[in-house]
Amino acid sequence: MGYKKVQIKIQTDYSEADIRFLIFKELGFKEFSFQIEKKSLDARKKSDPHWLLSLVIFSEQLQGESYAAPEALEIPYKKRTEKVIVIGSGPAGFFTAHVLQQAGFNVTILERGSELKKRTKAIKQLENRGEFTDQNNYAFGEGGAGTFSDGKLTSRSKRISVERSFILSEYVKAGAPEEILYMSHPHVGTDNLKVIVSNLRTKFLENGGVILFDTQLEDIVISENRINKIVCNTGEMEADHVVLATGHSAYDTYRMLINKGVQFRTKNFALGHRIEHEQKLINMAQWGSENLPGVKAAEYRLTTKTKSGLSVYTFCMCPGGKIVPASAFAKKSVLNGMSNYIRNGKFSNAGCVVGIHPDMLLGHKCSPLEILDWIDKLEEKFYTFSNSYAVPANKASNYMKKNKSKKVPKGSYPLGMRSAPLFDMVPEIVSNALIEGLQNFSKKLRGFEEGVLMGLESKTSSPIQVARDKDGRCTGFDNLYFVGEGSGYAGGIVSSAADGIRCAMGLSSK
Ligand SMILES: Cc1cc2nc3c(=O)[nH]c(=O)nc-3n(C[C@H](O)[C@H](O)[C@H](O)COP(=O)(O)OP(=O)(O)OC[C@H]3O[C@@H](n4cnc5c(N)ncnc54)[C@H](O)[C@@H]3O)c2cc1C
């Protein structure tokens, strides 16, 4: 059977029959099957928004070579006796464990938080009553920060295409909609992620894996470049290899590792606020209408450089989503955004942040421990503004003039807002850059200045990075690895999971 690749332009609310008709027009015959390779929205011309579909058409009537499927991840299985402990059940930890298990290792995952059901209850308690639970929140618990997230599965890195295909196909097998395999901006939402995380866990356990919930790594015992044993709140354990996948919120774990001699350096990260708009304003600005049949909600991604050379950008935009209290620890305020698959909420939100180096914030060459302490204090300051999880907020139009807002409109954040001079609560280098950014974005997206800025966005990426090799092995250690967002080499669900897969593949090839 031969095949042909074509790209078609099609109305946003198309049906399968519409695709078949367009293919028929192209080929002149009706005996074919097809597969979508890529689907992206082109709404640059507001009078003509449409999908662009890249298709592979298969037919006996087409001549030529047979279709070669894209390269797939090949996990080298053999019978092994080595035991690996993976710490953290987020995307990086889970995919490290999953691949190691398929390669024949004996794998145990340790997770400081609880399994999904208990974690879901704790998050409801936080949102409904403002009661924070230490080990079960938006950052900690089964599935890591990736579970109660927006579930965007985008990743801009071309280096990880094989790993990305593996991750997405494992997600589809575990219940994700098939469209994530071809959408240019794949999105699953928290509702799907909860099902996916639970199905992946079941499969891992059925294949002989062990997951110890409510088990926190507290210390490591080192002898001659090796981790001899690890110390948890539940007791001591030994393993041939230890993989850390603890995310970038676990500052207590970072501190313990630094004190034990694991080498870290500071690096650029991002700091700023969340900005929220009514979704219909974003739809109008991007599409020229409040609704576009066949498309859930409009997105945006804005970037600029300030006169002094700092990057200001929007990050992790959540169309139709809500802003959530995402701190890993009590009495600190950190915001993030999430949505469900349907993305039909009244609001949209995004991080609005400045890329900056820790040394610029502290005014001197600072150590990893210093920047962690500094961020901790800033997050505390945002909490103590109201002495609650109600979040300080400022209309963007006021922020741009360094004015406190008299009143802030209602938004999606579940624990309330308090009008605050937000521009005064972050260092001037950050607020001045954000003001330049907001001015630029308001020219690019009509109505952007009508948004409300809220709280602190301090966890878009890690301010520190571990010293390690390309497979994730920490410098100076024979059997200690650090993968995912916490390592400082990845950010986001897909790139963190891919980082874990690379480490697992490295270990499996030995
Ligand atoms: C609300 C929200 C929305 C987000 N939306 C998106 C999105 O749409 N798309 C996207 O790509 N990214 C999103 N992110 C970011 C994404 O979730 C992270 O980049 C990703 O989860 C990082 O994966 P990870 O496995 O490296 O770390 P994490 O997911 O942070 O997992 C680390 C795990 O380690 C556990 N742990 C930490 N310390 C210890 C210890 N000492 N002992 C035992 N266990 C420990 C934690 O409990 C946690 O489960 C979002 C994040 C949040 C909070």
Assess whether 235 and 97 both reside in one domain.
Answer: yes
317 is a domain residue: yes
**311 and 227 belong to one structural domain:** no
Cα(488)–Cα(475) distance, integer angstroms: 14
Q: Model confidence at 156, in pLDDT bands (50, 70, 90)?
A: confident
Claim to verify: residue 148 and residue 88 sit in the same structural domain: yes
pLDDT at 4: 94
Q: Is the CB–ligand 1 distance for residue 392 below 6 Å?
A: no
pLDDT category, 427, cuts 50, 70, 90? very high
Asked if 297 and 392 sit in the same domain, the reply is yes
Identify the CA nearest to 219 among candidates 204, 234, 202, 209: 234
| 66-81 tens-digit pLDDT | 888 889 999 999 999 9
What six digits make up the tokens of 222?
Answer: 């080192």
In single-letter form, the type of residue at position 101 comes to Q
CA distance 230 to 477: 14
Of 457, 476, 497, the residue at which a domain comes to its end is: 457
| Residue 45 CB contacts under 8 Å (≥ 6 apart), including other chains | none
User: What average pLDDT is seen over the chain?
Assistant: 97
Residue 144 located in a structural domain: yes
Given a cut of 80, whether residue 138 has pLDDT beyond it is yes
Least confident of 43-52, 56-65, 124-133, 307-316: 56-65
Answer yes or no: do 409 and 450 share one domain: yes
Same domain, 89 and 236: yes
Among 248, 316, 461, 483, which is best to mutate for testing ligand 1, by the most ligand atoms less than 8 A from CB? 316
| pLDDT attached to residue 66 | 83
Q: Do 484 and 93 form a contact (C-beta atoms < 8 A)?
A: yes
pLDDT value at residue 429: 98
Q: Which long-range contacts (C-beta less than 8 Å, at least 24 apart) are formed by 191-196? A: 191/340, 191/341, 192/151, 192/341, 193/143, 193/146, 193/147, 193/148, 193/149, 193/151, 194/116, 194/120, 194/143, 194/147, 196/171
Domain membership of residue 500 as a residue range: 83-265+464-508
Q: Is residue 75 part of a domain?
A: no
133, part of any domain:
yes
pLDDT digits (tens, 9 = 90+) for 379-398: 999 999 999 999 999 999 99
| Tokens matching residue 253 | 């774990």
Counting Cα atoms < 13 Å in the Cβ hemisphere of 88 gives 32
Of 85, 98, 108, 112, the one to substitute when testing ligand 1's pocket (max ligand atoms within 8 A of C-beta) is 112
Q: For residue 231, what is the domain's CATH number? A: 3.50.50.60
Flag whether pLDDT at 219 surpasses 80.
yes
Chain centre distance of CA 250: 16
Burial 364-381 (b: 16+ CB within 10 A, else e): eebebbbbbebbeebbee
Mean pLDDT of 246-259: 98
Each residue's pLDDT tens digit, 292-345: 999 999 999 999 999 999 999 999 999 999 999 999 999 999 999 999 999 999
Residues 335 and 427 in one domain: yes
Question: Hey, which of 466, 485, 489 would you mutate to test ligand 1's pocket, going by the most ligand atoms within 8 Å of its Cβ?
Answer: 485
For 267-278, what is each residue's pLDDT tens digit?
Answer: 999 999 999 999
Residue 128 has phi, psi (to 5 degrees) of: -85, -35
H or E stretch including 244? strand 241-244
Question: Ligand 1 pocket, 463 CB below 6 A?
Answer: no
Residue type, 286: Q
With a 6 A CB cut-off, is 322 part of the ligand 1 pocket? Answer: no
71 belongs to a structural domain: no
Residue 118 CB: number of other CB atoms within 10 A?
16
147 vs 152: CA distance, rounded Å: 11
Share of the chain above pLDDT 90, in %: 96
Atom in ligand 1 nearest the alpha carbon of residue 494: 11
Ligand 1 atom, smallest distance to 113 CA: 47
pTM for this one? 0.97
Q: How confident is the model at residue 157 (pLDDT cuts 50, 70, 90)?
A: confident
Our answer on whether the CB atom of 483 is closer than 6 Å to any ligand 1 atom is no
Quick one: pLDDT at residue 470?
87
**Is 253 in the same domain as 350?**
no
